Amino acid sequence: MNGSKSTTFSTGAVYKAIKHHNPLVDWSKTVWCPRGTPNHRFLQFLLNCCPARDRLLSWGLNTPSTCLLCNSSDESRSHLFFECVYSSQVWHNIGNRSGLTISSSWDQTLTALHHLSGP
């Protein structure tokens, strides 16, 4: 592309030309590891788009703000996955079985996963 004419069409070249290139985040290799299960990688990608109740409210939808699992705090991505009493118990059980210490913070968990050795 780069302003030059071409006689062939390349979807890849068009994609590279129009894609907004953000700097890589330090946890990208943790989420997008080559041997990762596609469903897990896709879920990780979408977590920032997760329609938790805080996002639904920001869109103007009429919905309660409290967490559907515990009904004790406002629902957000961080609350649903790490701060909710119910889900944090699930994560701690998974962590205990796999030998991981699970944090109560999204950023700390990604940092810990990033520093693990192996695939």
Q: 72 is written with which tokens?
A: 């004790």
Q: How sure is the predictor about 47, in pLDDT bands with cuts at 50, 70 and 90?
A: low
The three-class DSSP label of residue 66 is: strand
The yes-or-no verdict on residue 77 having pLDDT over 60 is yes
Q: Distance (Å, rounded) from C-alpha 58 to C-alpha 65?
A: 11
Buried b (16+ CB within 10 A) or exposed e, 43-53: ebeeeeeeebb
pLDDT tens profile 22-39: 776 666 666 666 666 665
3: left (phi over 0), alpha (psi -120 to 50) or beta: left
Average pLDDT, the chain: 76
pTM: 0.53
Higher pLDDT: 49 or 109? It is 109
Q: So where are the chain's domains? A: 11-114
Share of residues in the chain with pLDDT > 70 (%): 71
Q: How sure is the predictor about 65, in pLDDT bands with cuts at 50, 70 and 90?
A: very high
